[in-house]
Amino acid sequence: MKKLFGTDGVRGEAGKFPLDEATVRAIGSSLTRHLTARKGSAPQIVIGRDTRESGPWIEGALTGGAREAGAEIRSAGIITTPGIAFLARTLPADAGVVISASHNPYHDNGIKVFDPSGRKLDDAMERLIEADIAESGSSRTPQEINSLAPNGSAELRTRYRDYLAVEVAGDLSLDGMRIVIDCANGASYEIAPDLFARLGADVIAINSQPDGKNINRDCGSLHIEALQQRVTAERADLGVAFDGDADRALFADGLGNFIDGDVTMWVLANYLKSRGRLDGDLVVATVMSNIGLEIALRSEQIRLMRTDVGDKYVLEELIRSGASLGGEQSGHIIFPTLSLAGDGMLTTILVLRVMRDEARSLSDLARGMQRYPQLLVNVRVREKRAFDEVPEIQRVAQQIERELSGRGRLLLRYSGTEPLARVMIEGENESEIRKQAEELADVIRRELGSES
């Protein structure tokens, strides 16, 4: 059986395996049966979705399968992924399910499952569900299932918004601040403008009119340019762009400069350390974070611990190390004492807290971190031999690492889905790292390259 769950749940084109009606029903049924076996009684599941046109029928299919297997279901309707993680943690719920494909286009969708801690479903449960899928079957059509989708509870959405406004924001007042919010025509389209207006900000919401097909389309965290332009045109203090399910946030400062997840972590790490709240003087990021973040943190005696790509791996290291801050360049930022899921709105509140407490603009707070030039070269290969088993590749790679000498970084890895070797080099001089990347790529091509 093909593996269904990736690092971020099940994802694919809506209506096609594994997001066809029969498989979705089977996932709901299987999840319920295994939760029942663990708990010893009927489980309670809270469910929500983003704004994709396929969301209602997928929710209906999953809910139908879960109810037939004995689950009690509460639906929050359209809500962010971290909103469901919060509800799974704070309600009497045995699991939280989100119907979303995050930053993907509207024709895709996905299923993410959280346990009662607000952490993504464990690997063991995922394997059990995968083993059940082949036995599933159903004759209902998406149109018939649509009527089964439960009405979303406004009370559940309000509970999450109040948590952000009261418990996270606390006494934070945004009076006098102007903020541009790009909602990506996604799950945050109502709650985000309402939340920040409630905190006192003058809010300008863009891309906040979802139609089922425009989620992430030329907007949100993948298309930051319009936000940058709007911030400068409106003379705003800050712009924030969410993705479709609002588990990530990217920013534009008051000058329109792009602030990615690396710079966000730099700003937050400095603030937390200055107040003695950066546990272990440690930040957790992935192998894709820019070397500039590592060098900047080092200058402040803050260590950077790197993980594989994926917020799942960042969270695992945060829990293992006891660190208080981690994230990805893409804008997934995790504060494990507040939430075990990345939360774009929570991150935004904390960035605004730093700006208020320090009485400084985001552009000023971002100073001290320099993004180093980064080059990525892909080489098609005939086989994925370990690089350290090929002497010439090892020799050239070690030579490049000596040349970079702590002021740059080489990352050599294979694609997980294609027959490609990826050569990524960061350094101070773009022409030099280009030459290094091309030299190493040529060696890989000679030693392992595909004839085609």
For residue 349, give the DSSP letter: H
Among 29, 75, 102, 221, which one carries the catalytic annotation?
102
The angle, 0 to 180 degrees and rounded to 10, between the axes of the packed helices 191-198 and 344-358 is 20
Give CA–CA dist 198/195, Å, rounded: 5
Q: Residue 102 catalytic?
A: yes
Residues pairing with 304 in the sheet: 283
C-alpha separations of 22 from 33, 135, 137, 142, 348 in Å: 16, 10, 5, 10, 39
Residue (of 271, 247, 310, 263) closest to 100 by Cα position: 247
C-alpha separations of 225 from 119, 136, 260, 352, 441 in Å: 32, 45, 13, 21, 32
Which amino acid appears at position 58 of this protein? I
The terminus-to-terminus CA distance of the chain in angstroms comes to: 30
For residue 448, give the DSSP letter: H
Report the 10 Å Cβ neighbour count for 217: 16
The DSSP line for 105-128 is: -TTEEEEEEE-TTSPBPPHHHHHH
By annotation, the residues acting in catalysis are 102
